[in-house]
Amino acid sequence: MDFIALERSVTAANYDSLPVVLREAKGVWATDTEGRRYLDMMSAYSAVSLGHGHPRILKAMMEQASKLAVTSRAYHTELLGPFLERLVQITGLDMALPMNTGAEAVETAIKAARRWGYAKKKIAQDRAEIIVANNNFHGRTTTIVGFSSDESYREGFGPFSGGFKLVPFGDAGAIEQAITGNTCAVLIEPIQGEAGIVVPPEGYLRDLRAICDRHNVLLMLDEVQSGLGRTGRWFAYQHEGIKPDGLILGKALGGGVYPVSAFVGTHEVMSVFNPGSHGSTFGGNALAARIGLEALAVIEEEHLVERSAEMGGYLQDRLRAMRSNIVKEVRGRGLWVGVEVDANVVSARTICDALLQNGVLSKDTHGTVLRFAPPLTITRDEIDWGMERIERVFARAIH
Catalytic residue among 40, 222, 245, 364: 222
Q: Is residue 227 a contact partner of residue 234, using CB atoms and an 8 Å limit? A: yes
363, amino acid identity: K
Please name which of 96, 166, 104 lies closest in space to residue 130, comparing C-alpha atoms.
Answer: 166
Q: Is residue 45 a contact partner of residue 395, using CB atoms and an 8 Å limit? A: no
Catalytic residue among 251, 273, 364, 372: 251
CA dist 89 and 74 (Å) reads: 25
3-state secondary structure 286-303: HHHHHHHHHHHHHHHHCC
- DSSP secondary structure string, 356-371? HHTTEE-EEETTTEEE
Helix, strand, coil tally for the chain in percent (to 5): 40, 20, 45
Please name which of 250, 226, 225 lies closest in space to residue 99, comparing C-alpha atoms.
Answer: 250
CA distances from 238 to 179, 215, 223 (A): 25, 22, 12
Q: Is 251 a catalytic residue?
A: yes
Q: How many residues does the chain have?
A: 399
- Phi then psi dihedrals of residue 31, to 5 deg: -125, 135
Catalytic residue among 40, 83, 137, 245: 137
CA dist 259 and 280 (Å) reads: 13
**218-222: strand order across its sheet:** 95-99, 261-265, 246-249, 218-222, 183-188, 129-133, 164-167
In the beta sheet, which residues pair with residue 38? 30
CA dist 295 and 176 (Å) reads: 37
Q: Is 222 a catalytic residue?
A: yes
Nearest 5°: the CA angle 117, 121, 126 is 40
- DSSP secondary structure string, 245-305? SEEEE-GGGGTTTS--EEEEE-HHHHTT--TTSS--SSTT-HHHHHHHHHHHHHHHHTTHH
Residues known to be catalytic: 137, 222, 251
